[in-house]
Structure 1
Amino acid sequence: MVSQPTCIAHLHCPPLIPALAAEVLISATNQSMDSWDQSPAATVLEQQLVNWLCQKFGYPAIADGVFTSGGTQSNFMGLLLARDRFCQTYLNWSAQKQGLPPEAPRFRILCSEVSHFTIRQAAALLGLGEQAVVPVKTDAAFRLCPTQLAQTLEHLKQENLIPIALVATVGTTDFGSIDPLPEMATIAQTHNLWLHVDAAYGGALVLSDRHRSKLAGIEAADSITVDFHKLFYQPISCGAFLLKDRVHFDLIKLHADYLNPESNQAAGIPDLVTKSVQTTRRFDALKLWISLQNLGQQGFATMIDTTIDLAIETARLIAANRRFELANPPMINAVVFRYCPTPLLPTMNDPIAWSNQVNRQIRTTLMQRGQAVLAQTQIGDRVYLKFTLLNPRTTLDDISNVLNWIQQLGQALE
């Protein structure tokens, strides 16, 4: 056993010591982002970062946003506003004041069949139930298929159901797949759907000159989820919710005389609680701000580009070895593959079960030995292993070593 794994699938240790220092400072000061009078300087800094992010994603001047705990909260906010906007615009109904309208059981939210589970979770928490989420089939690259989307919308219409929102994923958890944003934006506009983009994983590509084009069309979204503890390399918790038109924050705005009185708004005093589902929350924007001051956008871009390059080279290594099967060419930095064992006996009844057993045991053994921690997923009835390459210090030699260990273990298990 070695004292430190050579390669870790979800290793978060880039050269961002200032972000960790900011984390300590945030905890030590115990500063809350409720209102202006509690944290005026922090309010200004967060708003400046939100404005910068909106500009980066191509949003207009009327855009706004707020920092969140991460992708789960941001996705919830996107669907919350989608629901309430539909109620107000098309039913003349205030969900905030009146609760769910009689039509709510017919509301539907569309997303790809490999979208994040928090879409279903948000639907449940919003009182619509998981049954409100309609999965749309994906193509061979695990991206939502626009043709299937159009057919699904037609079926919903025939069933007298009411589509209210469409969710696009920019970086699926397993494959890093990016849904076809321009086509989805057109369909959303045609059908008067709120378009929410879950860019928790892939949103950081906006910082890369080489890979920003993969986000083409994201500026058409009504709302965007960004999660900074992934390719922005920040300590958790740290995320953001961006809104194309700030007027939609009015759907959830509430005032309390002891916290954010209406007189503050009249005087132009910003109270961030009016656009958040949290009251007391941490000054997490400080981490991203300090990191940007330390590295700059180019520093972030270099780390992102390095890990994507490594994923491409890793995929080539895997594809060149007949004992491995590559599940997909990496779109970002996730590489999904499996070891392919030879069937034990010609009479073996279930070679797939045998292959799954071998891959699970490989992963477990590497972890127990302290050599590597690999992620695991499943495609259909087959178990796969996964590299999620987030550490810019990981080299191709590190990956080659892990692949050699996997092959040696596989052969030993056979």
Structure 2
Amino acid sequence: MSTPPLASGPEGPRALRPLLDTVLEALDSGARARGGPLPAGGPETVAARVREAVGEALPDQGDPHALRTLVHAFAEGAADPAHPLCAAHLHCPPLAIATAADLAASALNPSLDSWDQAPAASELEVLVAGALAREIYGDGETRPGSLETGGPGEHHLRGESRLPGGHGLFGESRLPGGHGLFGESRLPGEDGLCGEDGLCGEDGLCGEHGLCGEDGLCGEDGLCGGHRLSGESHLAGASRQAAEPHRAAARDLPGAPDSLITTGGTESNQLALLLAREVYGGSVRLVCGANAHHSLARAAWLLGLPEPAVVPAPAGTLDPTALDETLTRLPGPLLVAATAGTTDAGLIDPLPEIAARCAAHGARLHIDAAYGGGLLFSTRHRAALTGLDAADTVTLDLHKLGWQPIAAGLLAVKDPRDLTALRQRADYLNAADDTEAGLPDLLGRSLRTTRRPDVLKLAVTLKTLGRDGLGALVDQVCARAREFAALVHDHPGFALHAPPVISTVLFRPAGATDATVAAVRRALLTDGRAVLGRTRLDGRLWLKATLLNPATGPDDLAALLHLVAARRATLVEGHTPR
């Protein structure tokens, strides 16, 4: 057998072209064989088809037709998020432009753990991560449409967002001739981190003024301890009142917001808890709503943190009054996690009120905006995220309201000094003399070592569509959700839970038991006709339509509701299949 061709190198494109034709043909034939949003027959039927297609997973002799055979089986057995009746989860149909960019990332296979494995990708990550952080936090100037928190008990709302010439996603200015995403320095100073005022030194973190020492973390004036960004007053059990002056002094130093590219909300939330733990010197207690994503409690367990304090969310969102009582009662240090776009219903916690409570009690704030963060791109819907920039950290997923192939997550960080907790030294990747000679140090950008360049598809999408193009997609899916909710509301055979906040609609057949609701959903899955989610709110089970497909039209919405009504009619109450 001859040596299989490689994807890159001089012969890479020539080798890939016929293989891509095979893949595209198999995707098409598999989708036609499936015939709907999901393969019919249920788990056993699908598993049998896959086993038949695969045969022996590791044969002695290879099969030259394996690519066509397995891609066909993969597509035939897939849940296709681009089908208008596939609407169960926060599982978006990826844009063709992003998918094409992802092919280039796979072909060249850079690894973002050292500069010599990813020279262009490492710089692209800095540019895109900075641009998206500025989209949340601004660029250090007073930013319209945000909540500014100046300290305990001090906060105010700013006015309307997005004036012409305002600062935005693609750089320092939106006026003609302004700097863009791939333009000049995104921060003061030639090195992109610190200016020439002597506040910061050559490493972009600490300067010659004595506030910080040679390790870029702690100095000789007693503001910081010997091993962390924050000193001994932040050790577990220390009072947050004692900790706050030290943190406030540290935050007087210049530094622009940044973000880290992650695999999604789970990793971003875990990183947020880790950074909070390290800022406070070794321990912090999570305070979150009953509506919070399960990954937060799991991260607290994984990091060895105390049991989270769960605050009631009686209407599906965190109750600020109950939060205030909890923060008053518990000793610090505390990390409050709010949600902008709950998984169950797409609800947004009252962010300005929560930020005010955190400021008054000296608690750190993390906002999980994995779902709702995409509203930032929409002029129409951005105001729903007022208060987002008050958070110390923000989770964002662009494989939800960003139409990216998985994975495409981010963690935005208001104070980049918090990221010093991630610094590691491995001589084969970031030797000290290499770093001093100017080679970028990438190990502090993630908990992972090997990292694929997910940034490429993000950069291509942002540059191709711009904020207006992404905002239009957000507006479309939110509009479809409102239209579907109106259909449900006007149909005598259905009950609507509430008008949608983002693009999630909860509904159920009127008068049905929970067992019937569950049976209707499972029957549609087995039929392969429609994919709906489920959630439990207000003590009842609801069907969930999560509309993330901008190509879905009014006829598709009507067809979805008709399918649910027809399937319910075939089920006899009290004799529903399990």
- TM-score normalised over the length of structure 1: 0.87
Q: What corresponds to 1:91 in structure 2?
A: none
Structure 2 CA distance, aligned partners of 1:381 and 1:144?
A: 17
Structure number with higher strand proportion: 1
Map of 2:461 onto structure 1: 291
* Residue of structure 2 equivalent to 1:136: 311
Matched, 1:30 2:188: no
Report whether the alignment pairs 1:149 with 2:149: no
Q: CA deviation at 1:226?
A: 0.9
Secondary structure of residue in 2 paired with 1:57: helix
Work out which of the residue numbers 16, 20, 36 in structure 2 matches 1:4: 36
SS in 1 for 2:396: strand
Q: 1:138–1:144: 8 Å Cα contact kept in structure 2?
A: yes
> How far has the Cα of 1:264 moved from its partner?
4.5
Report what 1:237 is aligned to.
Answer: 407
Q: Which residue of 1 aligns with 2:549?
A: 391
Q: Assess if the C-alpha contact under 8 Å between 2:261 and 2:410 holds in 1.
A: yes
* Greater Rg over alpha carbons, structure: 2
State the 1:268 CA deviation: 4.9
For residue 131 of structure 2, what is the amino acid of its counterpart? W
Q: Give the conservation status (yes or no) of the 8 Å contact 1:67–1:240.
A: yes
Contact 2:328 2:361 in 1 (8 A): no
Pairs within 5 Å for 1:100-115: 104=283, 107-115=284-292
Higher mean Cα deviation, 374-383 or 116-125?
Answer: 374-383
Distance, in Å, in 1 between the alignment partners of 2:479 and 2:333 is 39
**8 Å Cα contact 1:2/1:371 also seen in 2:** no
CA contact (8 A) 1:83 1:164 kept: no
Give the deviation of 1:244 after TM superposition.
0.6
How far 1:217 moved relative to its partner? 1.1
Residue pair 1:341, 1:358 contacting (<8 A) in 2 also = no
Kindly indicate whether the alpha-carbon contact (under 8 Å) linking 1:34 and 1:273 is maintained by their aligned counterparts in 2: yes
The secondary structure found in structure 2 opposite 1:383 is strand
Q: CA deviation at 1:18?
A: 1.8
Write out per-residue CA displacement over residues 327-386 of structure 1, whole angstroms, 9 at most, x where no aligned residue: 2221100001111236xxxxxxxxxxxx11111111112122221111111125421100
Distance 1:111 1:24 in 2: 39
**Amino acid across the alignment from 1:152:** T
Q: Is the contact between residue 341 and residue 369 of structure 2 (CA under 8 Å) also seen in structure 1?
A: yes
Question: 2-side partners of 1:338 and 1:305: how far apart?
Answer: 25
- Quote how far apart the aligned CAs of 1:30 are: 1.8
Deviations 1:226-246 (A, max 9, x none): 111101010011111111111
Match of 1:349 in 2: none
Deviations for 1:97-155, whole angstroms, at most 9, x for unmatched residues?
xxxxxxx5xx42111111100100110111115x2x11111242x22111110112223
Structure-1 residue corresponding to 2:529: 371
Q: Which amino acid aligns with 1:369?
A: D
Note if contact 1:209-1:301 (Cα within 8 Å) is conserved in structure 2.
Answer: yes
2:482 maps to 1:403: no
Q: Which has the higher helix share?
A: 1
2:571 counterpart residue number = 413
In 1: Cα distance, 2:115 partner to 2:461 partner: 24
Unaligned stretches of 5+ in structure 1? 88-94, 96-103, 343-354
Q: How does 1:15-26 map to 2 (within 5 A)?
A: 16-26=95-105
From 327, 330, 345, the equivalent of 2:500 is 330
Match of 1:81 in 2: 275
Aligned with 2:444: secondary structure?
helix
Structure 2 counterpart of 1:209, from 360, 363, 379: 379
Partner of 1:339: 509
> Aligned match of 2:488 in 318, 324, 340?
318
Q: Percent identical across equivalent pairs?
A: 41
| CA RMSD between the two structures | 1.9
Q: Match of 1:351? A: none
Cα distance in 2 for partners of 1:211, 1:338 equals 27
Q: Which runs of 5+ in 2 are unaligned?
A: 1-32, 38-83, 141-186, 188-255, 573-578
The structure 1 segments of at least 4 consecutive aligned residues displaced by more than 6 Å after TM superposition are none
Deviations 1:286-335 (A, max 9, x none): 01111123222211111110000110111111122232121222110000
| SS at 1:331 equivalent | coil
Q: By how many angstroms is 1:413 displaced?
A: 1.9
* CA distance in 2 between partners of 1:237 and 1:265 (Å): 29
| Distance of 2:367 and 2:114 partners within structure 1 | 28
Equivalent residue runs for 1:171-320 within 5 Å: 171-320=341-490
Structure with the larger RCO, 1 or 2 (CA within 8 Å, 6+ apart)? 1
Q: Does the CA contact (< 8 Å) of 2:264 and 2:408 recur in 1?
A: yes
Contact residue 92 and residue 401 of structure 2 kept, 8 A: no
Maintained 8 Å contact 1:35/1:259: yes
Distance 2:384 2:442 in 1: 31
For the pair 1:52 / 2:226, whether they are aligned, the reply is: no
1:119 aligns with 2:277: no
Match for 1:42 among 104, 121, 133? 121
CA distance in structure 2 between the aligned counterparts of 1:212 and 1:138, rounded to whole angstroms: 23
SS of structure 2 residue aligned to 1:386: strand
Distance 2:317 2:362 in 1: 22
Amino acid at match of 1:221: A
Q: Structure 1 residues 328, 196: closer, same or farther in 2, change over 3 A?
A: same
SS in 2 for 1:111: strand
- Report if aligned partners of 2:285, 2:332 keep a CA contact under 8 Å in 1: yes
1:17-74 Cα distance to aligned partner (Å, 9 max, x none): 1211122222222210002222121011011001111111124352112211111111
Q: TM-score, normalised by structure 2?
A: 0.63
